[in-house]
Structure 1
Amino acid sequence: MRRSELKFLKIEDVEFRTHQIHIRVSKTKERTVKCSSYACEYFHQFVTRHLSKVPFKDRKHGYLFTTETGQHLSNDAINLIFRTLQKQANISTCITPHTMRRTWNDNLSILIDSLPPDQKPNQEQEKQIRNRLMGWSSISEMSNRYSRRSIREKSDELGELLANSIAQNKGENNAE
């Protein structure tokens, strides 16, 4: 989910029972996506334990994430949340809403690669899956950008395996 999509997420957009989030306000495409049961539970706890303490008049806009006083979050506030998370978790890599999207795409590539051959989508299906989940149009080429990174990483890994194999075989041949 993009920062702006998160910013405009309303409580009613989270379907707690079916673990779905309806992303209405989007840079690209409105869509409904699945989320983990854990995330839905955390959202529910947040609403019941924290957001419910904000006076109704200050939260009648319905946004899920607000300041303590019920004000709509700014982009800077969302960025501050990520910087604080990075600092508190003592994480050396940069965590931003956009890096989370890249990590999600990398994890999707790993998941697809791990599927048994009979369940693995073909290249076009993978592109359409990625486009839908990321909110890109069905003709978007953005999925190719993420696929290229995945292919580059796989080729580097295979290249290293091949180089090690050649070096090992050369070492065995010299031992004879």
Structure 2
Amino acid sequence: MGVEVNLPPMEAWYFDELGEDQRLPHQTNPPQYVSLEKLADIGVLYWKLDADNFETDPELQKIRKTRGYNYKDMLTICPEKLPNYHEKIKNFYEEHLHTDEEIRYCLEGSGYFDVRDKEDRWIRIWVKKGDMIILPGGIYHRFTLDTNNYINILRLFQGEPVWTAYNRPCEEHPARKMYVHQFTEQSC
């Protein structure tokens, strides 16, 4: 995983489960930080890239070629730019999975991706400018903005995008079974 020297690494921690505003950090007291190695152990991959030069960044081009990401689009999530903002934010925050990898590269702003660990606890991943994460198909996750209420992300796909989200519970879904086999059963 490539990390640029001058940019701070991504932060991740265990979620406190208090029912407050979803846009707050929700760190436990004291905070329990999660390492990149622990995230990789559940299939979440991370890179710190040059967001100011994303169109010509050789590191991003290498990742796209190696992983077969041949389709891309951009999405700005904020009240002023996303139609049906409140409904979409509510849907993004509903716990779900996808059949394919979810690749998100933050070009501006910030937000939170929450993922479930092997013990079914939430880990909050704070993505900021330059952070790119890959969530494996079949992992339960959700997304919300932080209190800045703005993120501009590049989304990458293998082939045409598949937008279908399968809300939890869906333990019998083939993507979920494959994820559990690959990342939970194999490491026990």
State the TM-score, normalized to the length of structure 1: 0.25
Q: Which has the higher helix share?
A: 1
State TM-score, norm by structure 2: 0.24
